[in-house]
């Protein structure tokens, strides 16, 4: 069973600021300011499961991801072999446990339950089996059976502290699931240093047309420290085959010694999540959603956006998981002391994206993402298209229990970012179609401290080349933060 310790899992006066038209003014997701958006809507850290577009990509500590470590064929073969051996030796405890594990990985919870319940007939006091049965019945949404086994597990002689903590967590999870209404909260706060400071949210994932890319075009010529905080609340209401999922995300950063590029932002989105099936087989999961956000820059109104989208996800093959999305945003900018002509960027953004996740190792996930955005402004100036390619790997290291911390999750990442204006840039002499190419690479390390807290360290390097001199830039970010999840 994966460890539960990891809760997973931006001075200057106006003359020192530069606004660069890079990847257009597109605004999109706030969802992964600190942690990459990832994984399924059940059983994962709140910020990870917060928002589209990539709401099902890549949590290395997810039980469902670990179950994809072996191919489906290998697991079926293993399960069949173990079952045949059990027919010859039905009282073999080791075979029974191994078969239950294989059946669980295949998603055949009924077979795993039958195996473990048979084990209790052989030994009523077999340690840990009732807790495993409670977890399996929880996965089947058989809450009363799960509660019954939890009660029995708590009464077993010699129950350890770790098992009691797991029993309490599982009982609370069952109560939330049975109520049909569930809340999850996440908060991250920390300190960031930039060698060439921008208003981009700390530790943000980059997608074409996204708010981090929009704000990263607002830069200073100096190195800066800033203190930041981001929070997320998610509510899921279970309607049976459909779940109504709503998210609220806030972000705030304060520059040390200045407020020139202080940022405050909020985003809310809501929509149903459901499976599309054919003859009882799941074809793909879908989530249409509505979204709205607001951004303040230097304590002044900067941007409001409204729109909607559709996110899809599917298990393509054993160990291979994919997502795709389309999103539309209407954006309304307000002239701001930092960006005096911001209203010229009013317009629409259409964006599409797709991603793949592959379980490369038992504790390691390889992910590739691509997103494309077309920004069309009302005054045409600043209209552009952008492409973001991302490759990343996430590896979870389960640390020795006597250390009292863990796991350690290490995630290197590499971006290649392209953008090009569709209208001549009047800031250039002679006017040209602005074009940029950017490399961005770095790594994040996250260490579980308790069941609800983790520490994170992030380093990222940005190298931007352009045919417009004012858009060329190098920047290095170093971020330390604490993450709290409930």
Q: pLDDT confidence of 249, banded at 50, 70, 90?
A: very high
Distances (CA, A) of 426 to 320, 344, 363, 472: 46, 13, 51, 17
- Check pLDDT > 70 for residue 426: no
Residue 266 contacts residue 278 (beta carbons within 8 Å): no
User: Do 14-61+181-485 and 72-178 come out as alike in CATH topology?
Assistant: no
**In angstroms, rounded to a whole number, what is the distance separating the alpha carbons of residues 105 and 101?**
6
Predicted pLDDT at 7: 33
What 3-state DSSP class applies to 255? strand
The stretch 250-276 carries a mean pLDDT of 93
Please give the CATH topology (third level) of the domain spanning 72-178. Answer: 1.25.40
Mean of the per-residue pLDDT values for the chain?
81
Could you tell me the CA-to-CA distances from 482 to 16, 62, 188, 447 in Å, in that order? 31, 20, 6, 10
Q: Is 153 helix (H, G, I), strand (E, B) or coil?
A: helix
User: What are the pLDDT digits (tens) for 278-323?
Assistant: 887 889 999 999 999 999 999 999 999 999 999 999 989 878 999 9
Determine which helix (DSSP H) or strand (DSSP E) holds 312, and give its type and residue range. Answer: strand 300-317
pLDDT for the residue 428: 63
Question: Which residues touch 279 (CB under 8 Å, ≥6 apart)?
Answer: none
Is 144 buried (19+), middle (13-18) or exposed (0-12) by CB count in 10 A?
Answer: exposed
Specify whether domain 14-61+181-485 bears CATH 1.10.1370.30. Answer: no
Which helix (H) or strand (E) is 82 found in, with range? helix 72-88
pTM over cut 0.85: no
Q: Is the pLDDT of residue 425 over 80?
A: no
| Residue 132 neighbours by CB under 8 Å, 6+ apart | 100, 116
Residue-wise pLDDT for 2-56, tens only, equals: 333 333 322 222 323 434 333 333 223 333 332 233 333 333 232 222 233 444 3
Name the nearest CA neighbour of 236 among 274, 267, 264: 274
Q: 103-148, pLDDT tens digit by residue?
A: 888 778 888 888 888 888 877 777 788 888 988 988 888 888 888 8
Domain range summary for the chain, segments of one domain joined by +:
14-61+181-485, 72-178
Output the pLDDT for position 172: 83
> What confidence tier does 264 reach under pLDDT thresholds 50, 70, 90?
very high
Q: Among 200-214, 263-277, 418-432, whose mean pLDDT is lowest?
A: 418-432
Terminal Cα-to-Cα distance of the chain (whole angstroms): 20
User: CA–CA separation, 53 vs 287, rounded Å?
Assistant: 10
Residue 62 has pLDDT above 50, yes or no: no
């Amino acid at each position: 069973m994966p460890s539960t310790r990891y809760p997973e899992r931006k001075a200057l006066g106006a003359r020192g600021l530069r606004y660069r038209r890079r990847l257009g003014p597109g605004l999109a997701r706030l969802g992964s300011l600190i942690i990459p958006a990832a994984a399924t809507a059940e059983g994962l850290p709140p910020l990870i499961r917060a928002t589209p577009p990539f709401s099902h990509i890549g949590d290395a500590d997810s039980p469902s991801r670990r179950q994809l470590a072996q191919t489906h064929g290998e697991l079926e073969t293993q399960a069949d072999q173990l079952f045949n051996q059990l027919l010859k030796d039905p009282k073999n405890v080791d075979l029974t446990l191994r078969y239950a594990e294989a059946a669980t990985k295949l998603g055949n919870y009924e077979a795993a339950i039958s195996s473990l319940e048979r084990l209790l007939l052989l030994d009523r006091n077999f340690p840990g089996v009732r807790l495993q049965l409670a977890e399996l019945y929880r996965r089947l949404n058989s809450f009363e059976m799960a509660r019954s086994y939890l009660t029995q597990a708590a009464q077993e002689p010699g129950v350890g502290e770790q098992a009691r903590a797991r029993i309490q967590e599982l009982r609370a999870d069952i109560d939330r699931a049975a109520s049909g209404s569930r809340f999850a909260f996440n908060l991250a706060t920390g300190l960031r240093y930039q060698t060439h400071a921008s208003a981009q949210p700390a530790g943000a994932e980059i997608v074409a047309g996204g708010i981090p890319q929009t704000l990263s075009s607002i830069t200073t010529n100096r190195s800066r420290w800033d203190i930041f905080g981001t929070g997320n609340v998610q509510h899921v209401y279970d309607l049976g085959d459909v779940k109504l999922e709503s998210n609220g995300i806030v972000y705030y950063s304060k520059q040390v010694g200045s407020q020139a590029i202080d940022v405050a932002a909020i985003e809310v989105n809501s929509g149903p999540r459901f499976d599309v099936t054919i003859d009882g087989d799941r074809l793909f999961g879908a989530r249409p959603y509505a979204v709205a956000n607001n951004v303040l820059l230097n304590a002044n109104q900067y941007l409001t956006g409204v729109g909607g989208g559709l996110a899809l996800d599917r298990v393509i093959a054993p160990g291979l998981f994919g997502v795709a999305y389309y999103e539309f945003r209407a954006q309304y900018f307000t002239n701001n002391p930092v960006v005096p002509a911001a209203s010229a960027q009013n317009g629409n953004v259409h964006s599409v994206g797709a991603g793949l996740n592959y379980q490369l190792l038992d504790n390691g996930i390889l992910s590739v993402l691509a997103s494309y955005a077309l920004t069309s402004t009302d005054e045409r100036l600043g209209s552009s298209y952008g492409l973001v390619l991302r490759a990343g790997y996430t590896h979870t290291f389960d640390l020795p229990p006597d250390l009292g911390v863990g796991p350690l999750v290490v995630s290197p990442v590499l971006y290649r970012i392209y953008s090009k204006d569709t209208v001549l840039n009047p800031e250039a002499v002679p006017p040209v179609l602005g074009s940029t190419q950017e490399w961005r690479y770095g790594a994040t390390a996250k260490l579980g401290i308790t069941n609800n807290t983790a520490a994170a360290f992030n380093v990222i390097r940005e190298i931007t080349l352009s045919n417009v001199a004012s858009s060329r830039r190098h920047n290095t970010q170093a971020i330390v933060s604490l993450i709290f999840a409930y």
